[in-house]
Structure 1
Amino acid sequence: MLENPRNKQSQQNLLNEPSVHKYVKLGYHYMISNAMYVSLLPFIMALLKLFAYHHYDPITLASLTAFVASMATLYFALRPRQVYLLDFACYKPQPYLMCSGETFINQSMLTNSFSEETLGFQKKILEKSGYGPNTYVAETLLEVPMKQSIAGARKEMEMVVFGAIDELLAKTGVKVKDIGILVVNSSMFNPTPSLSAMVVNRYKLRGNILSYSLGGMGCSASLIAIDLAKRLLQNESNSYALVVSAESMTLNWYGGANRSMLITNCLFRLGAAASLLSNRTSDRRRSKYQLRHTVRTHKAADDEAYKCVFQQEDEEQKVGIALSRDLMAVAGEAIKTNMTMLGPLVLPFSEQVLFVANLVGRKMFQMKMTQYVPDFKLAFEHICIHAGGRGVLDKIKKNLALTQWHMEPSRMTLYRFGNTSSSSLWYELAYSEAKGRVKKGDRIWQIAFGSGFKCNSAVWCALKTVDSSKEKGNPWMDEIDEFPVHVPEVAPIVL
C-alpha cells in the first residue's frame, strides 16, 4: 500500500529533493509563511507597553469597549454565512448493470450499427481507457435490441437520482421539509417537467423551495451546482440545500461511424451523487466539511474552446457528441487559468512570492527561465481530479508534479466506475474516506472540467476525522481492500 503523506506534507515533499536545496527551500517556506506573525511582534509589544504605562478613566475604557464590541457585531452580521457539507452519497448500481469491455463490444456488434473498422476503434479506446471490468451502464444499453426512449431515460434517472438521495437522507437524518434549496444537474437529459420537479414530486418537498435544473453544462456541472447552492445559502437563513449530480446514457448512444463521436460511447458510465449543504451554525459540529472556496472559469468566448465538445449530427444525420483534436490543449488552458485564479486563495505566501518573482523576471526583464509552477501539494492534503479520461489525468499529474498517492482516488474511480460525468468527484472523495485518509483539518481540492469549455474548483476543509469503519452507504466499502490496483500505462489513442 502507498504511504499516507498528509502529515507534514510540504516537509515530506521537500525532503525528496537534493540535500542542500531541500533545507534551503524548507527554511524559506517557514520564514516567509510566518513573516506576518514575526512582523506583528513589535506592534504587540508596543501596545502592551502603552496600556501598562497609561491609566485610562472608566468612561474612556467603556467607550473603547463599546466601539470594539459594535465593530465585532457588525462584522459577524455582515460577513457571508459559512456553508457546511453535512454529508454526501454516491449511487452504486446493481451488479446486473456491470459492463466489461468484452460485453460492451458484444452489445455494439448486436446493434448492427458498426462496421468492423469502427468496432476495432472502440475496442482500442476501451483498452487504453484505464477502465476495469466492473463499470456500469444503463439497463437499456444492455438490452437486445437497445430501447432508446424518453421513458427509459426517465427510469434510468429515477434509479440513480433517487438511489443517491435515499442514501443521503438516511445518512443525515434531515427531514425533507427542512430542505429549502434544490439544485439538480444533468448535461444531456433535460425533460419536461424538469429533473428538479421529478425530485420535488418524489419527496414531496415544500412548495416554496428554490428549485433549479442545470442542463448542458458538462462534466464540471457538479461544482457549478455547489457554487449556486453556496450563493443561495449565503442569502438564506437556517436552510439546507440538496445538490444532485447525474447523467443519462440512454438517449445518448451514437450509432454512426465518426470516430470523434464514438469516444463518448466508450467512456461514459452510470452513476450519480447527492450532497446536503447547510448554513446553520448549529450544523457545524455534525458536518463533515466546510466549503472554503469555489472558483469558476469559462472559456466559451474562444471559438476553439466552445466547439471542442459539441453535440451535432454527423454526415448521416446521426446525433452524437464530437470531441475535437484540440480538446487536450483547450482543457490544459482552462485548467491553467482556473489554477491561476485559485492560487492566491490557497497557496502559502512563500509559493506566491516565487510565482510572482518568476513572472516578473520572464515578462518584465525578459529573463530566460521556465515558468514556475506553484506546488499545490503545499495547499492540499487531498486532490480530486475529474476522472474524465486517462490522458488528462496523466497530463495534470506531470504538470503539477503530483504523486501516485495524490492521483490514486481519480485513477481508481476511473478504473472502478469509469467516467460518471459530474458525479465522479464524489466517488473520488468517497474513496479517500473509505481508505481512512481524511483527517480533521485536511484540505480537499476538487477540480473538474467539461464542455463549454469550463474548469471549476471547490476547496473544502475537513471538520472531523472520517472514521471509515463507521461509514455507511459508501460505494467503496465492501471492496476497498482490493484497491489500489495496478493500471499499466499505454500510449494515447489517435483520432
Structure 2
Amino acid sequence: MKYVKLASHFLTANLLKLLLIPIIAVIVIEASPMNLDHIHQLRLQLHYNMVSVITSFAILVLTSTIYIMTQPRSVYLVDYSCHKPPNNLKVKYQKFINHSRLTGAFDESSLEFQHKILEQSGLGEETYLPEAMHSILSRLSMAAAREEAEQVIFGALDNLFANTNVNPKDIGILVMNCSLFNPTPSLSSMIVNKYKLRGSIKSYNLGGMGCSAGVIAVDLAKDLLQVQKNTYAVVVSTENITQNWYLGNKKSMLVQNCLFRVGGSAVLLSNKLSDRCRAKYKLVHIVRTHIGSNDKAYRCAYQEEDDASKPGVSLSKELMSITSVALKTNITALLGPLILPISDQLLFFATLLADKLFNTKFKAYIPNFKLVFDHFCIHSGRRTVINELEKNLQLLPVHVEASRMTLHRFGNTSSSSIWYELAYTEAKGRIQKGNRVWQIALGSGFKCNSVVWVSLQKVKPSPSSPWEDCIHSYPVQTVL
C-alpha cells in the first residue's frame, strides 16, 4: 500500500506534465507537411466564420480566467525577526551546574549527568536562560513565566515592526505558537492587547505541538491568506522555560534542562502583490507528516510526571530512530514528488519497487537534495539530530553549518530555531536571488514538517539580527 501511495503522489504531482506529452505529439503530427493543406483549409474556414472565432476566443478567455482564479494566492515572506536576550542572561556550563546544585533538587549523580550532557550537547557558553532562573531560589511562578514570554515575544515583534514599517493595525491574521506555556488570556491575546490590534483580526493560539509548531503556524497562516485578501499575517514562535524546568532526578527528563534555551521569532507574511518587490522570500511548499499512530513515536517525547510527581518532558532513547522514520516519511511520501526532477523520482521509485518485488539487497536510491536546495535549516534540537539528518540526506558540513552554529550560540530554541538558522545564513551573505531554502522541523507527536522558500532577491540580514555582533567569529569548532 505504501508504494501505491508513492506512485499516486508521483502521478498527481506530475499529471500536467504527463498529459502534455500526448498533446504535443498530436500537434507535431498534425503540423507535419502532409497536413499543411488541412491547416490552410482550417484557416480559410475560420476567416469566413466569425462566430467560430468569437466563440473560440470567449472559451479561451473563460478558461484562462477560471485557471487564474483557481490558482492559490502567492504568499510572501516580507521579513522576520529573532529575539536576542540581554547579555546578563547568558549562562556558562559551570554557572548552570552551580545553580542546579544550589536549588537542592538534584543529587550528585544527576548533576554529573547534566554536566556530561552539556559537554556533548553542542551548546556553547553563551546561551540564555530566563531571568527567573538566575536567582538562587528560582522564581518558577506564573508571573515570572509571563515576564519571560513578554520579553521574548514583544522583543521580536518590536524589531519586526521597526524593520518593516508595518502598522500593527494593518495585521489581519495572527498565529501564536508556544507548546508548554498556555495561560489565560492566551499569548495571542497578550499580543493583541499590547499592540492594540484591530477587533476583526483572525487570532489563533497553538499549544502542545512541540518544536515543529513553527511550520504548522506558517501553514495555518498560509491557508488563511488564501481566504482573506490583501492583508498581512504575523506568525510568532517561542517556548517558555521558566515554568518547565524539571526539578527531579530521572535521567530521561533531565536532558530538557540541558538543551532548551530562551528564544523566539516573529515572521511577517503577506499576500499583497505590491509586497513582492520588497519581500525576501516566496513560499513554495509546505509538507507536514505525522507518525503519531505509532505508539513508540507518540511517546518518544512525552510530558509526564516522574515517580516523585515532578513534571517534565521525557525523551526516549529511540528518539533518533523515530526521527529517521519521520524524515523518510516526509520526503518519500510528499516532499520528493513536489520538488525532485522526474528522473530522480523515477529512479527512486524503481529502486523501491525492485527491493519490494525482487527482494534485492542494494540500498534504495537517495536523491541528491543538494542539487535541489541551496540552503538547509535543520531544527537544532540536539547535536545527534543534526548528525542524523546530515547522514540521511548525504549533506556536507557546510549544509548543516547554520544548524550547528545556532545550537552552539542559542541552544535549542524549539520552534523558532529554524529562523535563527536562516538568519545565520543571511548574515554570512550566502543567499542569492533564486536560491531555494529548505526548513526542516521535528517535534513531539511525532511530526516532521518541511517548508520550502525561494529567495526573491539577494538577501541581506535585517537590522538587529541576532548574529549582528558575533557572525565574524563563526563558524567555530564544535563537538561532532
Tell me whether the two structures share a fold, i.e. TM-score over 0.5. Answer: yes
- What residue is the counterpart of 2:101 in the other structure? 109
Q: Whole-Å Cα distance in 1 between the matches of residues 181 and 234 of structure 2? A: 19
Q: Whole-Å Cα distance in 2 between the matches of residues 152 and 233 of structure 1? A: 35
- Corresponding residue to 1:239 among 222, 231, 242: 231
| Cα separation, partners in 2 of 1:176 and 1:48, compared to 1, 3 Å | farther
- Report deviation, 1:90: 0.4
- What residue is the counterpart of 1:13 in the other structure? none
1:405 aligns with 2:407: no
Q: Map residues 59-98 of structure 1 onto 2, 5 A cutoff.
A: 59-98=51-90
**Equivalenced residues, count:** 454
- Report deviation, 1:38: 9.5
1:319 aligns with 2:311: yes
- Corresponding residue to 2:386 among 380, 390, 393: 393
- What residue is the counterpart of 1:441 in the other structure? 434
**Aligned-residue identity in percent:** 52
| Conserved 8 A contact 2:121-2:479 | no
- What residue is the counterpart of 1:5 in the other structure? none
Match of 1:485, SS state, is coil
Show CA shifts across 1:359-390 (max 9, x none): 11111222222122222112111110000000
- Report deviation, 1:81: 1.2
Aligned letter for 1:191?
Answer: P
- Report deviation, 1:40: 8.0
1:225 aligns with 2:217: yes
| Further displaced range: 61-70 or 186-195 | 61-70
Q: Whole-Å Cα distance in 1 between the matches of residues 218 and 242 of structure 2? A: 26
- What residue is the counterpart of 2:260 in the other structure? 268
Q: Map residues 28-43 of structure 1 onto 2, 5 A cutoff.
A: none
Match of 1:364, SS state, is helix
| Further displaced range: 62-71 or 126-135 | 62-71
- Report deviation, 1:36: 10
Q: Whole-Å Cα distance in 1 between the matches of residues 69 and 313 of structure 2? A: 48
Match of 2:391, SS state, is helix
What TM-score, normalized to structure 2?
A: 0.91
Q: Whole-Å Cα distance in 2 between the matches of residues 231 and 72 of structure 1? A: 23
| Cα separation, partners in 2 of 1:144 and 1:157, compared to 1, 3 Å | same
Q: Whole-Å Cα distance in 1 between the matches of residues 330 and 320 of structure 2? A: 15
- Corresponding residue to 2:340 among 341, 347, 364: 347
| Conserved 8 A contact 1:347-1:378 | no
1:149 aligns with 2:123: no
- Corresponding residue to 2:471 among 477, 480, 483: 480
- Report deviation, 1:488: 3.3
| Cα separation, partners in 2 of 1:384 and 1:40, compared to 1, 3 Å | farther
Show CA shifts across 1:460-491 (max 9, x none): 111111134xx3121112221111111132xx
What TM-score, normalized to structure 1?
A: 0.88
Q: Whole-Å Cα distance in 1 between the matches of residues 317 and 359 of structure 2? A: 33
| Conserved 8 A contact 2:140-2:242 | yes
- What residue is the counterpart of 1:20 in the other structure? none
Aligned letter for 1:152?
Answer: A
Show CA shifts across 1:368-423 (max 9, x none): 22122222112111110000000011111111110111000101100111100000
| Cα separation, partners in 2 of 1:449 and 1:63, compared to 1, 3 Å | same
Q: Whole-Å Cα distance in 1 between the matches of residues 450 and 127 of structure 2? A: 26
- What residue is the counterpart of 1:380 in the other structure? 373
Show CA shifts across 1:126-156 (max 9, x none): 0000111111110111111111100000000
Ranges in structure 2 where 5+ consecutive residues have no aligned partner: 1-16
| Further displaced range: 34-43 or 130-139 | 34-43
Match of 2:216, SS state, is helix
| Conserved 8 A contact 2:120-2:479 | no
| Cα separation, partners in 2 of 1:167 and 1:381, compared to 1, 3 Å | same
Aligned letter for 2:380?
Answer: A
Q: Whole-Å Cα distance in 2 between the matches of residues 75 and 38 of structure 1? A: 20
- Report deviation, 1:232: 0.8
- What residue is the counterpart of 2:3 in the other structure? none
Q: Map residues 459-474 of structure 1 onto 2, 5 A cutoff.
A: 459-468=452-461, 471-474=462-465
Q: Whole-Å Cα distance in 1 between the matches of residues 23 and 390 of structure 2? A: 39
- What residue is the counterpart of 2:8 in the other structure? none
Q: Whole-Å Cα distance in 1 between the matches of residues 30 and 173 of structure 2? A: 48
Show CA shifts across 1:206-226 (max 9, x none): 111111110010000000000
| Cα separation, partners in 2 of 1:486 and 1:66, compared to 1, 3 Å | same
| Conserved 8 A contact 1:348-1:378 | no
| Cα separation, partners in 2 of 1:485 and 1:44, compared to 1, 3 Å | farther
Show CA shifts across 1:157-185 (max 9, x none): 00000000111111111111111111000
| Conserved 8 A contact 2:213-2:415 | yes
Q: Whole-Å Cα distance in 2 between the matches of residues 233 and 432 of structure 1? A: 27
- Report deviation, 1:63: 2.7
- What residue is the counterpart of 1:15 in the other structure? none
Ranges in structure 1 where 5+ consecutive residues have no aligned partner: 1-33, 490-495
| Conserved 8 A contact 2:252-2:316 | yes
Q: Whole-Å Cα distance in 2 between the matches of residues 196 and 253 of structure 1? A: 23
